[in-house]
Structure 1
Amino acid sequence: MNAMSPNAVLEQVEARQALQQLNARFSRAMDRMDRCLMVSLWCDDGEIDWGSHKGSAKPFVIAATTADEALERSFHSVSNEYFEVDGTHAIGEVSVIIVSTLVEEGAKIDRLIGGRYLDRYRQEDGHWKIAKRTFVHDWNMNLPSSANYEEGMFALFLKGKRDKTDPSYQLLGA
């Protein structure tokens, strides 16, 4: 077994932490429809395979950050992040759960989707970015919405928004 130098170990740890942050920012960009943030996450020649979006990531970025009247809420949560780093390139598998509320024919539907991102990453100008992302759909559930946002104790909570009026921008900025 080859022992890694302390500097090589530190570089691996730093790269993995940067990749975890990259995926957290991707979730934030999706949930807040933050186009500037989303653009910053991709290599210039980034590609995606996301069902109807295959090829250049640029059309996906526009679609993912454009308001959709049928999509009321969304929440992306990433976990089980596995990365293999080789210098300025990396590959990874990241589990994701997407929870959203959709309005279909006047009825609200809660959709849960479980899947994985199979990724290729690369450093550009010293920053880790997504070079290629493939979404693998593993499972989903669709249920009539039972969410209660305006009654009882739920009326007291601050509400999230799918844009830059979300309260997180007051704390974190653009």
Structure 2
Amino acid sequence: MEPALQDLIDRHAINDVIQRYARTLDWLDDEGQGTCYWPDAEVDYGFYKGRADQFLPIVMEVERGSDRRWHMLSQPLIRFHSAKSASSECYGIFAGAKRQDDGTLAGNLFGGRYLDEWEKRSEGNGEEWRISARIYLLDWQSDLTDQPGFTPDPDFPLPTAQIDQSGHPLYRRL
């Protein structure tokens, strides 16, 4: 196949996994979430560091602890190392809220980055891309108080991540 066409196909496949990751968390789709990672993938979310197959029940329990959840991930910047391996970085925003004693919803808004390694492996009758390693880097968080019906407060200020010098150890050129 023409290399440029295969590059587009592979980029699209990786983008699909990233969107599936967010969607399956929001919809509490355990099986779909399991198709985002290779079972032996190493993940580091700070509160958990280990294999993806052991992480999935934990993260899905966390998601089920929220009354509402919303994940939004940017399109990733991707660098292919070979026909079967790649690195990517994308930004993500997550809002989660729980029902409070007074009936309102309140929670947190988080902003961070997903630093992913990818492998294309044989699965079923073909090959597919999945995450083979992930580091989640939390850049900022802010309280979301008094969010009845999740109607956004137009005066809510989003904090910015403080990156005050070049050469952060987790920055990678992709």
TM-score band, normalised by the shorter chain?
A: 0.7 to 0.9
Aligned partner of 2:91 among 88, 95, 104: 95
Question: 1:94 touches 1:118 (CA, 8 Å); kept in 2?
Answer: yes
Selected match of 1:9 from 1, 4, 13: 4
**Structure 1 residue 72 and structure 2 residue 67: aligned?**
yes
Going from structure 1 to structure 2, the CA distance change for 1:83 and 1:75 (only over 3 Å counts) comes to same
What do residues 110-155 of structure 1 show as CA deviations (whole Å, max 9, x unaligned)?
3111101000000121100010111000111102132237xxxxxx
**Segment of structure 1 superposing worse, 33-42 or 100-109:** 100-109
Cα deviation code 1:45-99 (max 9, x no counterpart): 1111012110111222112223766411111111141001121101000110101
Question: How many residues are matched?
Answer: 144
2:24 is equivalent to residue 29 of structure 1: yes
The residue identity in structure 1 corresponding to 2:9 is E
In the alignment, what sits opposite 2:112? 115
Question: Which stretches in structure 1 are left out of the alignment for 5+ residues?
Answer: 1-5, 150-174
> CA separation of 1:81/1:67 partners in 2, compared to 1, >3 Å: closer, same or farther?
closer
Match of 2:146 in 1: 145
Which amino acid letter does the alignment assign opposite residue 120 of structure 1?
A: E
Q: 1:88 to 1:79 in 2, by over 3 A?
A: same
Q: Deviations over 1:6-47 (max 9, x none)?
A: 811111111111111000000011111211111122113111
- Tell me the secondary structure at the aligned position of residue 94 of structure 2: strand
Q: Percent identity?
A: 24
Question: Residue 55 of structure 1 corresponds to which residue in structure 2?
Answer: 50
Shift of 1:105: 6.9
Report the secondary structure of 1:96's partner residue.
strand
Alpha-carbon spacing, 1:43–1:52, altered in 2? closer, same or farther (3 Å) = same
CA gap of 1:129–1:69, structure 2 versus 1, over 3 A, is closer
2:90 partner letter: V
Structure 2, unmatched stretches of 5+, are: 151-174
Equivalent residues of 2:112, 2:140 under 8 A apart: yes
- Counterpart Cα distance in 2 of 1:68 and 1:30: 7
Q: What is the Cα-based RMSD across aligned positions, in Å? A: 2.1
Corresponding position of 1:46: 41
Amino acid in the other structure paired with 1:130: I
Provide the secondary structure at the position in 2 that maps to 1:66. Answer: helix
The 1:44–1:33 alpha-carbon spacing in structure 2 relative to 1, beyond 3 Å, is same
Residue aligning to 2:136: 135
